[in-house]
Every structure is written in C-alpha cells, then in structure tokens.
Amino acid sequence: MPRPLRVLMVEDSEYDATLITDRLERGGFHVLSARVDTEGGMREKLNAGDWDIVLSDYTMPCFHGLAALEVLKQSGKNIPFIIVSGTIGEDIAVEAIQKGAQDYILKHNLAKLPAAIDRSMKEMQDRIARKRAEDAVRESEERFRMMADATPVMIWLSDTDGQCNYFNKTWLNFTGRPMEAEINMGWAENVHPEDLSECIDTYLLNLSQQQPFRMEYRLRRWDGQYRWILDEGTPRFTADREFAGYIGSAVDITEQKETEIHLKYAKELAETTSRKKSEFLAVMSHELRTPLNAIMGYSEMLSMGYGGSLTPKQKHYLHNVIVSSHHLLELVNDILDVAQIESGHIRLIHERIVLDMFFEDLLKLVEEQARQSRVTIDLRIEPGLDVIEADPNRLRQIFMNLLTNAIKFNRPGGRVEIRMYYSDDRQWIICKVMDTGIGIPEEQMPNLFTEFHQVDSSFTRKQEGIGLGLALVKNLVKVHGGSIRAESTVDKGTTFTFQLPAQIPLHQQTSQPALAAVSTD
C-alpha cells in the first residue's frame, strides 16, 4: 500500500514538479503536494499545513534553494529539506548541507529521490528524538541539582576517574569556597594534613574496586575551623551496569567525635538529617511521579479518542507509551521501597491474613499474564495452615515478584507451583514458588538478590526490569524476620524458598480436610 507523503515543492517548473511526483509515486508514495516558487508563497504554505518533506530547486527566477532553506529554518519547523536541481556545483551542495539541508539530488537522477526522502525523514526523526532525550537528561540534572541544593546534607558527585565534578550549595557554604576551587581534587585542600593521606588512600582504594565506602576526616570550614566529617560514597551505575562514578553525602559529626556531653545533640542532628533525607526522597518521589501521572493520564485520554481518531500506527505507538509509563512507575516504586528499607524507614503493619482469601485475590492479578504465557499455576497449602501473621501488602509484593518472574521466565505449557507448610518444629512457615522455566546459570546465583543485578542471558535481557525485584523480595522477607534462598537448574526450572516466623498459636488455627489446590490456566 502506498505511503502517504505530504510534499512542499519549491519549484518554478510545473513539468519538473510532475516528474518528481511521478517518480515518488513509482517509489511507493501517495503524494499530496503543493508547489510554490516565491518566498511569500513558501511562507504561506508552511504556515497553512503540515509537511513531511520540502523539495526545493536551487535556481529559480524569483527565488533560490538556500533562501528557501533559510525560510524553513525561520519557521521553526522540523521538516527535512532536500535540494532537487538540474545542475548544482559541489561547493554549493556542501554549503547547503552545512546550512541544514539533508541531501541533494540531481533531476536527471530522480530514481534516488525516494530512498533519499526515507533516509532524510528517518534522520530528522532520530535528531528530534535525540534532542528530546538530551532535553530530558538536562531537565533531570537540573531537577537533581535543585533538590540537592535544598537538602542540608553536603552532596558531591565524581566521574569514573574519581575527579569530583559537582558539589551542592551546602558543601560550598560549609567550605566558603567556589565550585571552581573544589572540583577535580581541589576539595582535598580543605582536609586536615593529618587526615589527608588516609582520606585519599581510602577514596582511591574503593574507587579502584567500584564499591561503597565511608570515612571520617577533618574538613576546614569557612571560618578556618576544622570539623569532623562523616563522608559516605556510593557507586553509580548506568542501566547497562557501567560504572558512572560516585555520589557522596557528608555530614558534620564533630560533636559525636569530640565529647559525650553533646551525644544527645548529636543524636538529634542525626535524626534531623535522616528526616531531611526522607523529605528529599519524598520530594524526588513527587517530582518523578507527577510527570509520570500526566504522561499516563493524557496517554489514556488519547487512547480513548478524546483527541480525535488515531491511525493503527499511532495506536501502537500510544500503547507503547502507556505500557512503558506503567513500567517506569513500577520501577520508581521499587526503587523507593528499596531506599526506604535501607534507610530503616519502612514500617510493617502486621495483620492476621486468611490465606484462602489472600491467594484468591493474588492469583487474579497474575491470571491474565499466566493465560497469555500458557502457564498453569498450582497452589497447595498444608492442612491446618489457615492464617498467617504478616503485612498483607508487603506479603503480596513478595509473592507478586516471585510469581511474575516464574511466569515470565517460563516456557509455553509450563507450570508454576506454590507450596506452603510448617517446618518440622512448627516455628516457621515455609513458602515455595517453583517453576519449570529456563533456569539460572550457576555462576549467576551468588548475585541473584543483589540490587540492579539481572541474569545475563539473551532471553532475560529481552524482559523488562532493572534487577530490583528479587532484592526487594529479600529485604521484605528479612524485615519480616525471615530468610530466602534459591535453587535452580538450567532448562529445568527454579525454586525460591522463603520462611516466615509462625506467630499464630496452634490453638487458634483451624484445620482443613485436604490439601487446597487452585489452578489457573
């Protein structure tokens, strides 16, 4: 089927315009065009409609190609521009390309025009996408700096070579020095001479191993007084697990170091710092979720037809936006959960959970995923195990992560089994999630529960995620007072086993006549 192409032709010859149109239609396009040969005409047509491409002759009685290119640039529209001329010198062609033209085609060689248009339109789309990505990164960096400058904690960043390239206002206000004096290794000039060697050695050693560190040293304040600093550095990694440098936070701990008399004050200071960190985390959560909610909301409205009818391609693109937005929101929530657990700010709300009702609701959430993957889910609970005491929302997170992984990395016609039973001494409730999927290589098992770790295989790399799910599961099980382990055989499947304290007295438990079995096809 011919592809629609809206062409604005800057051409004084109607005959040549007809030849160009014929060549494009034979090249697979359905051409909708307008022809102009003056500056005023071109400006009028640019303002009157949306165009996919501008094709311009170079030499015309009242106009010329470079002037047409300038008119397009002044319009601010991102439309590819190709010169189509009978004769054009190499120097003029180079000048046109340098000024923004995507290509030039000679009229006696119009067979190359369809391919040149495809290439130019793709290059323009790539350029627009790249600019949007760069703008997003720049906006993200600006937002980070605004939030970092608002926190009372001294924050710094380094590159992959360990050279510091950013200090927030709190740091600069503390030292009383400008950014230019602190960047690279300039900050070391403020360190007490007696602490400098150990400070630098600690930093460089951990840099070479790309691992977290914490160190204490005396740092000269703006008034010349040395203050004890607790400095913690955390390695940063890209989505591809490439080392990107460090992010560090430093707080003044002089009172804790110098005297026990100020211990109470030091504790309050630490609590204030912790609260501010939590506020910083909450602000970051809001800043990330607000634009995400807008993206998701407007995308849903567009998909429902509020903005008018959509082409199948537009619906496909919009569907990708919606799915990606939901996925990104899940990643944000996972990151914030992990951060809350690590900072000790997560609070469990223990309740008595009726397991039949819990799993009835839980399996509905994965029913569609299992159906599409043609995976069967089987649930079996030991007789007498009716109730468990835990945080229901967090327990749901644990099972959802394990179940979605078990389905996602299974194979069509595969099986997922859930088993729950008491340990022999009845002090623990054992939970197993077993699948018949692709399994996990033995060398990957030690890092399975590490944050941002993903199993390195061609299949798993096709799946979404940044490697937080199992780390989150491990931490949630741990805060419940339990533990988790995994066993796996490649091409045979994986079993995750976790245990939780059995806190419900035996006399409060009811019995069941047989193993409960629930299957979802």
Cα–Cα distance for residue pair 46/103, rounded to 1 Å: 20
The span from the CA of 360 to the CA of 354, in Å, is: 10
The string of pLDDT tens digits covering residues 57-98 is 988 888 988 999 999 999 888 899 999 987 777 778 888 888
Contact 56, 81 (CB under 8 A): yes
Q: Are 354 and 387 in contact (CB under 8 A)?
A: yes
Per DSSP bridges, beta strands 3-10 and 53-56 are parallel
Residue 25 has phi, psi (to 5 degrees) of -70, -35
CA distance 153 to 440: 41
Phi, psi of 127 (to 5 degrees): -65, -40
Q: Check if the beta carbon of residue 228 is closer than 8 Å to that of residue 243.
A: no
Q: In the structure, what pLDDT confidence band is assigned to residue 513 with cuts at 50, 70 and 90?
A: very low
Backbone φ, ψ for residue 104 (5° rounding): -140, 140
Give me 117's structure tokens. 């248009």
CA distance 90 to 166: 47
* pLDDT at res. 265: 65
Ranges of H-type helices in 304-391? 312-343, 355-373
pLDDT (tens digit, 9 = 90+) per residue, 206-233?
A: 999 999 999 999 999 999 999 999 999 9
Ramachandran angles phi, psi of 500, nearest 5°: -125, 150
For 291, residues 6+ apart whose C-beta sits below 8 A from its C-beta are: none
Q: What is the pLDDT of residue 419?
A: 95
Query: Are residues 157 and 144 in contact, defined by beta-carbon separation less than 8 angstroms?
Result: no
Return the number of other C-beta atoms located less than 10 Å from residue 378's C-beta.
14
Task: Give the residue-averaged pLDDT of 479-487.
Answer: 91
pLDDT over 70 at 319, yes or no: yes
Helix (H) or strand (E) holding 518: strand 516-520
Average pLDDT rounded to a whole number, residues 318-333: 73
**Structure confidence by residue, pLDDT tens digits, 160-205:** 999 999 999 999 999 999 999 999 999 999 999 999 999 999 999 9
Helix (H) or strand (E) holding 19: helix 14-26
| DSSP string across 32-78 | EEEEE-SHHHHHHHHHHS--SEEEE-SB-SS-BHHHHHHHHHHHT--
Residue of higher predicted confidence among 242 and 146:
242
User: Residue 422: exposed, middle, or buried by beta-carbon count in 10 A (0-12, 13-18, 19+)?
Assistant: middle
Q: What are 276's two structure tokens? A: 């501010």
**What is the C-alpha separation between 337 and 280, in angstroms, rounded?**
14
Q: pLDDT of 250-293, one tens digit each?
A: 999 988 887 654 566 657 776 776 666 656 655 666 677 778 77
**Spatial distance between the Cα atoms of 239 and 137, rounded to a whole number of angstroms:** 14
pLDDT tens column, 374-385: 999 999 999 999
Q: What mean pLDDT is predicted for residues 116-125?
A: 87
Q: What are phi and psi of 485, to 5 degrees?
A: -145, 165
Q: Taking a C-beta distance cutoff of 8 angstroms, is the pair 6, 32 a contact?
A: yes
Adjacent-strand bridge partners of 70: none
Provide the pLDDT confidence category of residue 335 given band limits of 50, 70 and 90: low
* Residue 161 DSSP symbol: T
Quick one: which of 40, 43, 34, 30 has its CA closest to 11?
A: 34
Nearest alpha-carbon partner for 244 in 162, 303, 167, 311: 162
Residue 438, SS3 per DSSP: coil
How many Å apart are CA 5 and CA 54, to the nearest integer? 11
Cα angle 335, 338, 341; round to 5 = 150
**52 with 6: CB under 8 angstroms?**
yes
Element of type H or E holding 293: helix 263-303
Query: Could you read off the pLDDT of 458-481 as tens digits, one per residue?
Result: 444 444 444 567 888 888 999 889
Strand order in the sheet with 213-220: 164-167, 154-158, 243-252, 226-237, 213-220
Using CA atoms, how far apart are residues 491 and 499, in angstroms rounded to an integer? 26
What are the angstrom distances between the C-alpha of 352 and each of 384, 501, 504?
15, 13, 8
Instruction: State the Cα–Cα distance between residues 417 and 497, nearest whole angstrom.
Output: 12
| Rounded Cα–Cα distance for residues 117 and 33 (Å) | 14
